A and B are shown apart, each in its own frame.
Chain A
Amino acid sequence: MASLKTLKLRIGSVKSTQKITKAMKMVAAAKLRRAQEAAIAGRPYAERLEQVMASLASKVAIGPSSPRLLAGTGKNDRHLLVVATSERGLAGAFNSNIVRAARRKADELIAQGKSVQFYLVGRKGRPINRFFPKMIAGEHDMSEVKTVSFADAKAVTDDIIRRYEAGEFDVAHLFYAKFQSALVQTPTVKQIIPVPLAAGGAATTGASAVVDYEPDEEQILADLLPRNVAIQIFGALLENAASEQGSRMTAMDNATRNAGDMIKRLSIQYNRARQAAITTELVEIISGAEAL
């Protein structure tokens, strides 16, 4: 039986842990709201860009002369997995879910005899190194970043596109957690290079109107393709930020509740021990008095 003193210390330490988890939960809740707003504010741009891309792509025939970002390298051998995680832990299974999704995909690709490289955005993707040592091609440090800005996404995109132009890989996939609610975040895979275009999307955007292009369609398309990749990555980073906070909020809520349960259990144990100590003392005094 633990002594009274150790029990008391134990209760004290669990209490202070609970205070921390409670504070983290509240901070995450506040940040979640802001991250959600940012994700929603970013939607109009992504939607319009997608519309324009669809209507442009319907006008330009994919041939050997089309931009490589659209047409691909003609091969499908080397894959780059861009894994977007958070910079901080204590967010439940958020990071490990994303990493697991990436690992599964990598295993699958390797089983098909393809070569795989990783590009990490965020510090918490590093455990990948344990499973696939020496396959991390690059990393983008986001530790100084408080709120994700487009400039970050642009920097990542420029780096990835530069590698693509240099012929380091043929296909790029992006891994992130799609934000559904504070309770549900789904790890998601998306192909970003070559740019996948939704077929038939153009018909809905009124592409029948005669549109003047300046410069011509192909050049605009070439200009928009990298931008589209950047927007995809930016959108994913925003979703990720919201998911991270949502996941942390739920995790910390659970932790706070568990700490509460533990305090209750320890208090009961403490009180029992205290009472037992008093009883023993009384018995000692009484039997001492009787002996006289």
Chain B
Amino acid sequence: MQMPLHFELVTPEKLYRSADVHMVVVPGSEGEFGVLEGHAPFMSTVKDGDLSIYPTAGAAPERIRIEGGFAEVNERGLTVLAERVIEA
């Protein structure tokens, strides 16, 4: 059984989302990358694009458009610091 990934999306204005999810695909500046639980510590800048959040394995992803920022993966989970989140 896989553990959920702790995911946080933070903008300068507020903590936009904090949830336990299956996987998140982040639009990194050098290519998209997916993050699952247990990912190695990693840090990348983010380009403008869609963040895909998979609440469970195989579920349809939820997309959030973000602009500018960076993503950090550490032992506590994934944190995306986005400059702006554009609500769909």
Contacts and interface: CB of A to CB of B under 8 A. Distances in A.
B41 A212 contact: yes
Nearest to A51: B72
A45 B85 CA distance: 13
Contacts of B42: 211-214
A231 B81 CA distance: 12
A138 interface: no
Contact of B12 (A42, A52, A211): A42
A150 B83 contact: yes
Contacts, number: 78
Contacts of A46: 12
Interface in B67-82: 68-70, 72, 74-75, 79, 81
A220 B13 contact: no
A215 interface: yes
Given A209-B75, A227-B83, 17 more contacts: A38-B13, A44-B14, A44-B15, A45-B11, A46-B12, A48-B79, A52-B43, A149-B13, A150-B12, A150-B13, A211-B42, A214-B28, A214-B43, A227-B68, A230-B12, A231-B12, A234-B12
Interface of B: 10-15, 28-30, 40-45, 68-70, 72, 74-75, 79, 81, 83-84
Interface of A: 38, 41-42, 44-46, 48-49, 52, 149-151, 153-154, 206, 209-215, 219-220, 223-224, 227, 230-231, 234
20 contacts: A41-B14, A41-B15, A42-B13, A44-B14, A45-B11, A45-B13, A45-B81, A46-B12, A48-B72, A150-B11, A150-B12, A209-B41, A211-B42, A211-B43, A214-B43, A215-B29, A219-B45, A220-B70, A223-B70, A227-B83
